[in-house]
Amino acid sequence: MTDKFTTPVHYDDDIDATNIEDKTVAVLGYGSQGHAHAQNLDDSGVDVVVGLPKSSSSRQAVEADGLPVATPRNAASDADIVVMLVPDTVQPDVYEDIEPALDAGDTLQFAHGFNIHYGQIEPPEDVDVTMIAPKSPGHLVRRTYKRGEGTPGLLAIYQDATGEAQQEALAYAQAIGCARAGVIETTFREETETDIFGEQAVLCGGVTDLVKAGFETLVDAGYAPEMAYFECLNELKLIVDLMYEGGHMGMWNSVSDTAEYGGLTRGEEVINREGMDEILEGVQNGEFAREWINENQANRPAYRQYRQAEQNHQVEEVGARLRELFAWDEESGETAD
């Protein structure tokens, strides 16, 4: 464990693998995270069973990967650790199905805290409730593990009925490769609220609306939509990659002085901090969670309307044509060098 961060970070050398070696893990779901967790655990020598409904089309993939598969209820019944890796909106129904299979001293584990934090799942008091959340898509969790590396992950303990929840969760993180890079301590509340805020204000909502606003500003001023696409969307990846690798200063050091001065003096004019504060408040007080839960219960009418409008936006039409000009790396989805 290191003290150079504001919160504890755990690495392989800090962890006792024996805290999981004699346990069976049921991985519920075999999507992006599910397949990576299950395969990495199996390669680490952990006893794994994948839980999927009999009607699931993913069962063939599980069997092809050489892993046992059972219904979620049966998988949970055989397991000491039950890991919820199905989508947030599905988890409450899956939990209702597997809850009778949870025994005292078992662990219910998550990779995102939404349903626990907002009370959609209320586990019994005699089970541990933990979170191990890799900060990377599942395919990278799997790919880096196979290279002998790992992706950073988060650790949170919501309920420690056995007194051993953290040690077991860290052993799990080690088994999927996260401890090779570092496992950062957090809480269910912090992980959930920062994750949702980041998605809405920056990573998904903020960025896409910024791109559309910049694109529309140029097109409305008479510039070619192709030029607007290149300057407001296509080159965004170059900037994000520079920030990802070297932070803000790594990016500023790589762009022209003109771009740096213009960005430093003009960027804040398009950012509305009051709006961000309102978004965060809606996450913290549960307003967004209630809205999203109600939206799903109503069969997602607003969701489909927003998605259709996004699909029909001019930036998508122009981009679809321009992206045909690039040579793409089929495995990574990135442009080839």
- Burial of 260 per CB tally in 10 Å (0-12, 13-18, 19+): middle
Which position among 37, 112, 117, 313 bears the catalytic label? 112
CA–CA distance from 112 to each of 115, 116, 287, 314, 331 (Å)? Answer: 8, 9, 18, 34, 27
Q: Is 37 a catalytic residue?
A: no
Q: CB within 8 A of 49, min separation 6: which ones?
A: 24, 25, 26, 27, 67, 68, 69, 70, 75, 78, 79
SS3 label, residue 82: strand
- Burial of 273 per CB tally in 10 Å (0-12, 13-18, 19+): exposed
Q: CB within 8 A of 128, min separation 6: which ones?
A: 105, 106, 107, 108, 157, 159, 160, 161, 162, 164, 165, 168
What one-character-per-residue DSSP string does 208-225 give?
A: HHHHHHHHHHHHHTT--H
Q: Give CA angle at 60 (57, 66), nearest 5°.
A: 145
Q: What is the DSSP letter of 125?
A: T
Element (H, E) at 261: helix 257-266
Which residue in 133, 134, 82 sits closest to 108, CA to CA?
82
User: What residues are labeled active site?
Assistant: 112
